[in-house]
Amino acid sequence: MNIEYSEERFREGQVLLINKPLEWTSFDIVNKIRLSLKRYLGIKKIKVGHAGTLDPLATGLVIVCTGRATKQIDQFLGMDKQYIADVRLGATTPSFDLETEVDKTFPFEHITQEAIHNTIDSFRGEIEQVPPMFSALKVKGRKLYELARQGKEVELKARKITISELNLLEWEGQNLKLDVSCSKGTYIRSLARDLGYELESGGHLTGLIRTRIGPYQLSESLSIVDFEKNLATFATK
């Protein structure tokens, strides 16, 4: 990733590849970059936006656009994405991940490697997926996670998504590690839930790393700490 740390270039528009840390929101990244530009370059007002939300309990690649490059955000939103996902079988949570506590447990000793591979095979291609209640999707102007935290239930319709690649990397006891490439709109938390169900057990997500967005790789990204350090170094020259 080639970044020019000047006010002119940030205003003209730059595409930043940032490695989001655990428990940060995508908006936290945007706000940190905006504040850093103000602090080190004196830019009081500039457009900064991210090209796709990544859950707080996930880490990995977030694309951030500045200045005129924010006009490209829709282009990035439509790109396919790749993840490394950790799934725990034998239990479910209301959020389908570790944001909420386990609500039900299920047997998992009957699950074989053959069953796992057969189930994974059935999820490749175009499928229908019901999104999680704990998500930023809106119903009548209200975000679903706000309704979920109030204990309200909404009947959600399945949406068509495409999983182009789904491969088992590791399997140990209740724990699976998966490599997933998928279309816009795919919820890996829902995939974890659905895999558990199809294996006649339960399942929830315990870890998630976004490794790619379209042609953009996590290996090309900067940590938010390094971005700020580089900006500070430029400002003192």
Q: Are residues 34 and 72 in the same domain?
A: yes
Residue 105's DSSP bridge partners are 91
Cα(7)–Cα(231) distance, integer angstroms: 10
Please give the tally of structural domains in the chain: 2
Say whether both 124 and 59 belong to one domain.
no
CB-based contacts of 98-105 (< 8 A; 24+ apart in sequence): 98/57, 98/204, 98/205, 98/206, 99/56, 99/57, 99/134, 100/134, 102/204, 104/202, 105/202
The average pLDDT across 123-129 equals: 97
Confidence category of residue 205, pLDDT binned at 50, 70, 90: very high
More confident residue, 132 or 206: 206
Mean of pLDDT values over 121-142: 80
Domain hosting residue 88, numbered range: 81-213
> Which of 141, 133, 180 minimizes the C-alpha distance to 157?
133
- The answer on pLDDT for 237 being more than 90 is no
List the structure tokens of 20: 């989001």
C-alpha radius of gyration, the chain, whole number: 20
C-alpha span between 168 and 7 (Å, rounded): 45
In this structure, the answer to whether residues 45 and 115 fall within a common structural domain is no
- Find the mean pLDDT for residues 26-35: 96
Residue 147: pLDDT above 70? no
Mean pLDDT of 36-40: 95
Structure confidence at residue 131 (pLDDT): 85
Asked if the structure places residue 1 within a domain, the reply is no
205/164 same-domain check: yes
Give the model's confidence band at 235: pLDDT under 50 very low, under 70 low, under 90 confident, else very high. confident
Q: Do the beta carbons of residue 83 and residue 57 sit within 8 Å?
A: no
Asked if the model's pLDDT at residue 87 lies above 70, the reply is yes
Same domain flag for 150 and 231: no
Note the helical H segments in the chain.
Answer: 7-12, 26-41, 73-77, 113-122, 144-149, 188-198, 224-235
Tell me the catalytic residues: 55
CATH code: domain of residue 108: 3.30.2350.10
What is the share, in percent, of the chain residues with pLDDT greater than 90?
A: 83
Q: Which of the 8 DSSP states describes residue 50? A: E
DSSP lists the bridge partners of residue 180 as 83, 166
**Single-letter code of the amino acid located at 194:** D
8-state DSSP, 95: T
DSSP of 100-114, one letter per residue? S---EE---TT--HH
Same domain for 129 and 36: no
Question: 2 lies in a domain?
Answer: no
pLDDT digits (tens, 9 = 90+) for 163-172: 999 999 999 9
Domain identity same for 123 and 26: no
Specify whether 59 is located in the same domain as 135: no
Report strand pairing: 142-143 vs 125-129. unpaired
